[in-house]
Amino acid sequence: DVVMTQSPLSLPVTLGQPASISCRSSQSLLHSDGNTYLYWFQQRPGQSPRRLIYQVSKRDSGVPDRFSGSGSGTDFTLKIIRVEAEDVGIYYCMQGTHWPRTFGQGTKVEIK
Amino acid sequence: QVQLVESGGGVVQPGRSLRLSCAVSGFIFSNYAMCWVRQAPGKGLEWVALISKDGSNEYYVDSVKGRFSISRDNSDNTLHLQMNTLGAEDTAVYYCARDWGLDLWGRGTLVTVSS
């Protein structure tokens, strides 16, 4: 199975400051169809996960533009340019190129 | 309004079976593949299974192969997960999610395997 490794696992951030989460895969996520199926999800406390980003860098509808995704191959990043209080939660990357689909361990974002 | 509502969770003894359902509304169910994802208490997300939009293809994580079966009823807009030979390691909140990319999620249903 493809192993997804996130870092850091805990990320204390000051309100208004940027945050960055890394996600590395044990195999390339470039699919034979030319797309890279790397997703980012946010899980706020007590809530279901919500997708933020698909295909590395495409923001889902309603996702604030302070969130951005980047990367290629095996190395990916989720950035929040200015953290707001509502961004507290756990962020997961997931690969959708190989079977079975696999998630990263999660990165807990909290306010300092 | 787009909704995915899971049901069927509960407390079950080890070795027994349980069937989860996910009722869908607000979109054309038969146009989308559907997934199950679970989350053990205090743990991360684990992808469990996916079924194609017409039900012709199914995919599973190794830990549930041979024990769990995903199915769907496109006439009833319902997704199911039949779980057999349950063990303590299957204790989790089970979410249904839409499409290959899990773009929409339900609120989940808790399955507790305990004697």
Q: How far is A95 from chain B (nearest CA, A)?
A: 9
Q: Assign B83 a pLDDT band (cuts: 50, 70, 90).
A: very high
Determine the pLDDT at residue B81: 98
**Closest partner residue to A48 among B62, B95, B101, by Cβ?**
B95
Determine the pLDDT at residue A96: 98
The C-alpha atoms of residue B91 and residue B84 are separated, in whole angstroms, by 13
The C-alpha atoms of residue A84 and residue B14 are separated, in whole angstroms, by 44
Is B17 within 8 Å of chain A by CB? no
Determine the pLDDT at residue A16: 97
Percent of chain B with pLDDT over 90: 100
Nearest CA in chain B to A93: B45
The C-alpha atoms of residue A99 and residue A101 are separated, in whole angstroms, by 5
The C-alpha atoms of residue B94 and residue B19 are separated, in whole angstroms, by 11
Determine the pLDDT at residue B113: 98
Q: Assign B69 a pLDDT band (cuts: 50, 70, 90).
A: very high
Q: How far is B102 from chain A (nearest CA, A)?
A: 7
Q: What integer is the mean pLDDT of B94-112?
A: 97
* pLDDT tens figures, A62-103: 999 999 999 999 999 999 999 999 999 999 999 999 999 999
Is A40 within 8 Å of chain B by CB? no
The C-alpha atoms of residue B49 and residue B40 are separated, in whole angstroms, by 16
Mean pLDDT over the full length of chain B? 98
Place of tokens 């406390």: A45
Distance from the Cα of residue A32 to its chain's centroid: 22
Q: Is-contact A77 A57, C-beta < 8 A?
A: no
Q: What is the longest distance spanned by two Cα atoms in chain B?
A: 40
* pLDDT tens figures, B6-38: 999 999 999 999 999 999 999 999 999 999 999
Is B106 within 8 Å of chain A by CB? yes
Q: Assign A8 a pLDDT band (cuts: 50, 70, 90).
A: very high
Contacts of A48 in chain B (CB under 8 A): 95, 105-108
Which tokens belong to A36?
Answer: 């890279």
Determine the pLDDT at residue B1: 92
Determine the pLDDT at residue B101: 96
Q: How far is B60 from chain A (nearest CA, A)?
A: 7
Look at A51 and B107 and tell me if their CB atoms are within 8 Å. no
